[in-house]
Amino acid sequence: MSERNLKTPSGKPRARSLGVRLLGSPGRHNAITDVPGVAVGYVTLIEGHGPTRVGEGPVRTGVTAILPRGRDGVGLPCAAGFYSLNGNGEITGVSWIEETGALGSPILLTNTHAVGACHRGIIDWTVKHRPQLAEQWLLPVVAETWDGYLNDINGNHVTAQHAVAAIDEAVEGAIEEGSVGGGTGMNCYAFKGGSGTASRRVSFGSESYTLGAFVQANFGARHELTIGGTYLGELLAGDNPMEDFYAKPGAGSVIAIVATDAPLLPGQCKALARRVPLGLARTGTSGSHFSGDLFLAFSTANRGALTSQFSAEPKGAGDLDQLAFVQWGHMDRFYEATVQAVEEAVLNALSAAGEMIGRDGHRAPGLPREKVAQALRG
């Protein structure tokens, strides 16, 4: 793996820089954006200090945009599947994805009380840039986790304009991690968490495909934390100012988005989404009743297929959609890549996010990286 991928573009350390041993072969940037065409954009909102004044701050939040086919491909469906490990959360638009097996919307990630603003923002962007799509119904895909420990979450700080800006800012290539975008105010294992990503190369016959994962990590109890197969919950038990704040240790949520350029059926995408919890479990979590753990997977292959969901009439007599797909008997290597990429994405979010002070002086400590590195060295 390239030395440059040990850090984010701004120089934040990623998990591998701590000596974490991780399986699999990452893509060029070790990010979901290694999947050709996938773009990610952030709007990060950090403003103010001190006591909460609802509507004024302090603000520690944002928006993440994930575009499966970039801006030019908005409205061109991908095969997709959804899975909920625990339903104390929200991803809008998944009822239609479950019905049709197709995803044509940008995916936005934000805080729990900003879902409506981001939903409106996708519509506004589409009306401006894809007016022909807006003439039909729009069912935007927006996912959330709760950042109310650090953020004035009831202050309506995320607007539709921020959602539009995140879509407009989306880029391919290396992307930031940690306290950025929708992950700005999130916490993970009672450390500062947020946005994280990773990828894996997958060989299939004579072809090589890429699978990438992106997580908005806001879950887990400190006593569960495991890194690179080493249990660290007891070693890192100290300095936990969130312990008394949360009524239930481990409460929180996680959103995971899995992307691949391998040709898959919608049911196979759903099968990938069902493997996300296995990657999360490698970091220690047992899954909290009070956590919203929701996962969406999509394939960018079969471009031009699945468009029939928008038409009540066939294009011509006997017109049929066709999907190429990996044989079910060869899906194990893609399941393995999903588990590996999700695990590393969570660890990258933890590693890249430093300490943050939010509303009412609430503090989220950063992962003690050197202590972790020493423990992993034995």
Apex 124 CA angle, 123 and 130, nearest 5: 80
Catalytic residue among 105, 199, 288, 291: 291
Q: What is the C-alpha to C-alpha distance for residues 352 and 22, in angstroms, rounded to an integer?
A: 17
Beta bridge partners, 193, equal none
Helix (H, G, I), strand (E, B) or coil at 20: coil
> One of 253, 288, 299, 351 is an active-site residue; which one?
253
Query: Can 293 be counted among the known catalytic residues?
Result: yes
H or E element, residue 247? none
Neighbours of 350 (CB within 10 A): 30
Annotated catalytic, 291? yes
CB 185 within 8 A of CB 358: yes
* Tokens found for residue 316: 């011509």
- Joined together, the tokens standing for residue 108 give 């936005």
- Which of 147, 293, 299, 351 is an active site residue? 293
Calpha distance 88→327 (Å, rounded)? 34
253 is catalytic: yes
Residue 230 CB-density burial (10 A; 0-12 exposed, 13-18 middle, 19+ buried): middle
Q: Tell me which residue of 107, 38, 105, 104 sits closest to 77, measured CA to CA.
A: 104
Residue with tokens 């991780």: 22
Q: Which residues participate in catalysis according to the annotation?
A: 253, 291, 293
